[in-house]
Structure 1
Amino acid sequence: MENKRHIDVLIIGAGPAGSVCGSLLKQAGVECLIVDQATFPRDKVCGGGLTVKAWRLLDMLLPGIQYNYRPITRMRCQFENDAVCEFQAEYPIRMTRRKDFDYSLLQYYLDHGGELMKGSFARFDQQADGQVLVTLKSGEQISCRYLVAADGSNSQIRQQIHGDSKLRAMFLEQFDEGKESDDVFVHFSNNYRPGVFYKFSSVGRDMYGYASVETNDDMPRHKAGFKQALTKFGVPVDRICGAYIQLDTVPHTADNVILIGDAGGFANKLTGEGLYDAFKTAANAKRAIVEGRSFSETNKEEFRKMEHQKKVYEFFFSPIGWRLLRWALRCPRIIKWLFDAKMKRETFRA
């Protein structure tokens, strides 16, 4: 105990939420340390797409950030075997490789004086003096004024506070290296409702994915559904990888323990997009720490948005919502207007 380290802010997880939060704290002159068990660069199951609201917010938060991407504006959607709904989006989606993108964010943090330590979180304990004592699996202990959980959907900090999630989504992916298309394609079918099959054209490869709500640990069933979808679209089945995304957003319970990004369940309930909310909650965590305010207050817009998305999700996959979607996909102009309007409405709301 005598030799335990003290730090102002300890961040568990060096992914987008953790690295951006660390960079923002360094900009504000706050002492912080990021702990992660992975060796970077490391790959991760994720489409890697940054919508306009995400890349504009990132550019604003981290001035001069550089990363490799492909701009994609061609959008294609299809319901069952109906005609394909195709349109050009007003704003491009920046398609990245998460392995490289995440490393760019972490490197930005390190280049601006940030410190990274390799280690695995075991548990935390609130201390009588108001500090948080974190114990790593190595046995090493670190005390901190704030503990920020940015350790993803399988967050051990979230697990310690809130237990198991009641609702989560299963994401499966397969890559076609060396093949580059020029579109985002999303397919809707009753065979995988609630869920979708999709293809993203990324940097140096096409990525095929399958998302479905998971209430039981039924990986074999989801893999079978993904393989059927791949076969339907003439894609040879290769190595499939998967991950869970928590759909439950957990409440804020302690002012000195903050959950951001996927650790707090901040991902779009309908699309699975998590990067924008990772950046936004990272910025709101920094505000709470620097301004001495509650994360419930600085992040209230995100909490409210997550509750609204639950209702949108339930309606979208309801029988009437499903029928409306099928009808709308017969009208590309309507879909384009809705898509572009959403991007404009959320752009630059930092």
Structure 2
Amino acid sequence: MAGSNTGTIFQITTWGESHGKGVGVVVDGCPSGLPLSEEDIQIYLNRRKPGQSKYTTPRTEADRVEILSGVFEGHTTGTPISMIVRNENQHSKDYSDIARCYRPGHADYCFDAKYGFRDYRGGGRSSARETIGRVAAGAIAAKLLKEMGISILTYTKSIGPVTIDPCHFDATQISQNPVAMPDAHAAKEAQTFLDCCIAQQDSSGGIIECVITGVPAGIGDPVFDKLDASLAKAIFSIGAVKGFEIGDGFAAATARGSENNDSFVPQENAPLTKATNHAGGILGGISDGSPIVFRAAVKPTPSIAQLQHTVNADGEAVDINIRGRHDPVVVPRAVVVVEAMAAITILDLMLRNTTAKLDHLKKIYE
């Protein structure tokens, strides 16, 4: 299968299926000398693992990561870092009834159309469990970015009709509620809404917001490899994401130039700053030094317990009830996946940027 790897210098390749022996990732291009342990990775994986609340799938996986290569005496060696998370709680029989049916909202039909064959046990490669490899790689990327003073804050902005209030923003709340919202009041409203969805055997989508601070001006390229385009591709590669916007996003379409332009403000003995940040920290595909702000729209979980109409592999109309263990909303667990893909993208472009100026090369090799 093509398309299971991404990155130019900091490269990752994910592998495995949701009901196979395990899932994992190979990370290449990580510099040597970075202190790294399995616990560094586990902190991130714990944020996406299942079974943490009634709003996530009850599939009970420890999701314990094992580092197989690329780390010696607690530091990266500069060689490929291979990591595995073993699947321990598969219920493949839950999917036997739909082996020849195309589930609404899933990629079943598309896999058959492309390959003439598919792994129907939980979706195989198209399962959200594939994102474990992304999160493990993202944990490494985030740690490298931290060494350069770059931090990433990611959270649930909305679930269904419930949206956080910027006046009540409290980052400490993100880890204190099961929906990863930085607004305690909105979090309670979202949980009430999700309880209603569960009672109706339905699901919900939402919006994830990501804020990246500390990225210097000058990262990204002006044509095909724009920073915002690269972020969009990375975030859209997450299975449940159906929309992406940066800065004011679609709201910019209804604004006037005088409203949307960000005025530059002179700074004495410091880089330029902007009075506003409607552009979301990127101009012409290149970072401008302001916080990078983007949002991802996540669709409702397609696996719902309601009776649904579909067809089977013979083209016959059938009704199905999807069994198995599924999230009524994937947004809270997807927060760390979005964060991981953002970290991987930013780091790769920063490593590529070392060749942008002769001065950069001189500093490396002087």
Question: Hey, which of these two has a bigger chunk of strand by percent?
Answer: 1
TM-score, normalised to structure 2's length? 0.27
Which of the pair has more CA radius of gyration?
2
TM-score (norm 1): 0.28
